[in-house]
Amino acid sequence: MNGNDGRGTSSRRISYSDLEKRQLVRGAKPGNRFVRVQPSQEFYRTGPGWLVPRPDVVEPKGLLGRLRRLIVGRPIPSALEVHERLNKIKGLAVLSSDAISSVAYGPEATMRILITAGLAYLSFTWPIAIAIALLIAIVAFSYRQTIKAYPSGGGSYIVASENLGPIPGLVAASSLLFDYILTVAVSIASGTAAITSLFPRLLPYTVEITVAAILFIMIVNLRGIRESGTVFTLPPYVFIVSVYVTILVGLYKLTLGGGIHYTPPPSAVHPGGRQFGLLLLLAAFSEGCSAMTGTEAIANGVPAFKPPEWRNARTTMSWMAIILATLVLGVGFLATHMHVLPATDETVLSQIGRSIFGPGPMWWVLQVSTALILVLAATTAFMDFPRLMSILAKDRYAPRVFQYRGDRLAFTSGIIALSVVAIVLELVFKGSVEKLIPLYAVGVFTSFTLSQAGMVVHWRRERERGWRRSAIINGVGAVITGIVTLIIGITKFTHGAWLVIVLVPVAVLTLWAIHKHYVRLETTRKTEIPMDPQQIRLRAVVPIRDLGVQAKQAVAFAQAITRQNAQVVAVHVEDDPQEAEELRKAWYRWNPEVELLIIESPYRSLLRPLLAYISALKETYPDDTVVVVLPEFVPSHWWEQLLHNQTALRIKAALLFYPGVVVANVPYHLEK
């Protein structure tokens, strides 16, 4: 994680980058004496017991290395990791594209539900927009508290697990994980929709486009991205501005400038005749709530801000909330009063833009910036998912692989895992926003609720000045988001939410099982070999086929590690009795001190009698450590492998499951 802080703490050491700066790495310099590797100038001691390898000896090599370099670029040393802090402007762009981009599908989702009850009910889009705007305000306000309390980054997982205990923490974590996955799926799908609204000819290739986009973002992320790059800063603002312009021009035309001429696209959805009622209204509202996904991003990323971090983050949070709320209100208002109809081939936002500006440059700008900000939203998910996975891995809730960073400082495994799952989703749901949305938001609001609730507990514990006020604010947030979670869960259940509601517990259980496994591993004390070298009594078994050099080497090694020859025995499993007999004679001519045992193999199996003998030996001397010294032949050409039936390998594999049996491979290389 925080490589540099680490280096900061241990003053005794000079870091790799320092060496590089002082150009010590390329050649020996006085004062940097080599450590136990005199001739080969490959390591530098940078402190008692600290070695730094010369970069060129540890750079990835070989075909695979080159291939990887081609795709993800040259590896970056940890030391060169950049920790550029974000000012408010950049912070807003980087951390809120996920939330703000949701405007592109949130209101539309509402309308798709309403229209199932009939045209008239579309007018509810506007009030629902208001409700959502309020919700945004509440959640944002509540998160401002979190930001202050967790300047080191208050992700729902951290807040929940610290204040509510591990299980709620895991629930928050897994809902977030699903949320991130869906952010990628939905954002990419909806970004594609923005493009296909521009070029309907691309419609048939929707799925292909989404998959390609995900793969592209995956590679970009594997190469590692500098969050502060302009590529991140520009599109969000272009999007925000163009949507504002759309809203303003729209409002103007609707009020003073004689109205807007709206022609619904041919693919406009036909109004359904569903019974209208509270449930439908709530359903519409739930769908709309997908507009709020990503709100927590700023609260997670406090440390990324320039100091004073928490203050900057807080302000940015407020800005984001205001922008998001106004956009939702604006789009909701226009959609309602322009009587826009949701369609299958064109997004609502695109329809609004087209009708207000006509199919001209402004409409294009709107569409393209929409697509871009949605891609950015996906990218942020690509940063959050692996980061959360690595935190979980560090806490031993996820497989270790997720903890390590790849050549380019990115969490390779997490990125790849995310892409795979997201691609699967796109394939299963044919890249349709409409079908994906119902899965969305449940996770988000679950984590909202848990982190707010966590905050309440936090305040009650800390009891700082004015803790009551904060507790109340978070309490309100918790209650309301809790209610919304329930609403979403119920109204969307049959439409796919059930999947998430089933998967979250499964995920929690899995994480928990993994944790138990690691803990068991770390806390166990039983050993198979005495911890005290003095107590280790060795018995070496050397399986041999003939008296070749490999065998002799292995026997010599066995004698070397067990000083007494009495504790070494060479074992030959008989295949041809005559050969065995000859081997016996040759053996005692060569090395009479070490005993050679010939085991008959009634069924001509080389492996079984040997294993039987070893386990018998182990039974006989339970306290001794049996070392099986395997002469291993390493061919110089691949095809030579075929000429040696891989007995050594099979013996190794089998012995893996014999407690207290050490396997030592004495290699023998046939030079080319």
- Interacting positions 610-629 with its own copies (CB under 8 A): 612-613, 615-617, 619-620, 625, 627
Q: Which stretch binds its own copies (CB under 8 A): 45-53, 115-123, 204-212, 252-260?
A: 45-53
- C-beta of 76: minimal distance to its own copies in Å? 8
Single out the residue of 201, 270, 465, 520 in contact with its own copies (rule: CB under 8 A). 520
Residues of span 582-611 touching its own copies by CB under 8 A: 584, 595-606, 608-609
Q: What are phi and psi of 539, to 5 degrees?
A: -130, 115
Residues of span 72-91 touching its own copies by CB under 8 A: 75-79
Cα–Cα distance, 413 to 654 (Å, whole number) = 31
**CB-CB contact of 545 with 526 (8 Å):** no
Q: Which helix (H) or strand (E) holds 610?
A: helix 607-620
Would you count residue 522 as binding its own copies (CB under 8 A)?
yes
- The residue type found at 644 is H
- C-beta of 61: minimal distance to its own copies in Å? 8
The mark string for 457-496 relative to its own copies (x by CB under 8 A, - otherwise) is: ----------------------------------------
Single out the residue of 488, 569, 626, 651 in contact with its own copies (rule: CB under 8 A). 569
Single out the residue of 202, 269, 401, 501 in contact with its own copies (rule: CB under 8 A). 401
Cα–Cα distance, 86 to 592 (Å, whole number) = 76
State the Cα angle at 502 between 501 and 508, rounded to 5°.
95
Would you count residue 55 as binding its own copies (CB under 8 A)?
yes
Single out the residue of 64, 70, 71, 643 in contact with its own copies (rule: CB under 8 A). 643
DSSP string, 41-105: TTEEEEETTEEEE-HHHHS--HHHHHHHHHHH-S---GGG---PPB-HHHHHHHHHHHHHHGGGT
Single out the residue of 264, 399, 482, 496 in contact with its own copies (rule: CB under 8 A). 399
**CB-CB contact of 572 with 596 (8 Å):** yes
Would you count residue 10 as binding its own copies (CB under 8 A)?
yes
Residues of span 343-372 touching its own copies by CB under 8 A: none
Q: Closer CB to its own copies, residue 333 or residue 557?
A: 557
* Paired tokens of 281: 């209204």
- C-beta of 594: minimal distance to its own copies in Å? 10
Q: Closer CB to its own copies, residue 23 or residue 527?
A: 527
Cα–Cα distance, 233 to 229 (Å, whole number) = 7
- C-beta of 604: minimal distance to its own copies in Å? 5
Q: Where are the alpha helices (DSSP H) in 151-229?
A: 156-164, 166-198, 206-223
- C-beta of 502: minimal distance to its own copies in Å? 20
Residues of span 406-445 touching its own copies by CB under 8 A: 406-407, 409
- C-beta of 33: minimal distance to its own copies in Å? 14
**CB-CB contact of 284 with 114 (8 Å):** yes
Q: Closer CB to its own copies, residue 432 or residue 615?
A: 615
Q: Are strands 50-53 and 538-543 parallel, antiparallel or unpaired?
A: unpaired
Single out the residue of 66, 400, 430, 460 in contact with its own copies (rule: CB under 8 A). 400
CA atoms within 13 A on the CB side of 150: 26
Q: Closer CB to its own copies, residue 381 or residue 596?
A: 596
* Paired tokens of 96: 């809120």
Residues of span 217-236 touching its own copies by CB under 8 A: none
Cα–Cα distance, 407 to 397 (Å, whole number) = 24
Residues of span 297-336 touching its own copies by CB under 8 A: none
Would you count residue 649 as binding its own copies (CB under 8 A)?
no
- C-beta of 301: minimal distance to its own copies in Å? 21
Would you count residue 22 as binding its own copies (CB under 8 A)?
no
- The residue type found at 140 is A
Q: Are strands 50-53 and 595-599 parallel, antiparallel or unpaired?
A: unpaired
Q: How far is CA 572 from CA 289, 579, 657, in A?
A: 73, 11, 22
Single out the residue of 38, 263, 275, 494 in contact with its own copies (rule: CB under 8 A). 38
**CB-CB contact of 474 with 456 (8 Å):** yes
Q: Closer CB to its own copies, residue 282 or residue 594?
A: 594
- The distance from CA 613 to its chain's CA centroid, rounded to whole angstroms, is 47
Q: Where are the alpha helices (DSSP H) in 463-593?
A: 467-492, 497-523, 549-561, 577-590
Single out the residue of 253, 306, 644, 650 in contact with its own copies (rule: CB under 8 A). 644
- C-beta of 12: minimal distance to its own copies in Å? 9
Q: CA quadruple 273, 274, 275, 279: dihedral positive or negative?
A: negative
3-class secondary structure, 123: helix
- C-beta of 588: minimal distance to its own copies in Å? 9
* Paired tokens of 614: 């070893």
Q: Which helix (H) or strand (E) holds 411?
A: none
Quickly count helices (H) and strands (E) in the chain: 26, 7
Q: How far is CA 402 from CA 318, 380, 409, 410, 461, in A?
A: 33, 18, 12, 10, 33
Task: Tell me, by CB under 8 A, how many residues bind its own copies.
Answer: 126
- C-beta of 513: minimal distance to its own copies in Å? 9
- C-beta of 295: minimal distance to its own copies in Å? 31
Q: Which stretch binds its own copies (CB under 8 A): 102-110, 153-161, 464-472, 643-651?
A: 643-651
Single out the residue of 152, 270, 521, 623 in contact with its own copies (rule: CB under 8 A). 521
Residues of span 524-553 touching its own copies by CB under 8 A: 524-533, 536, 538, 546, 548-549, 552-553
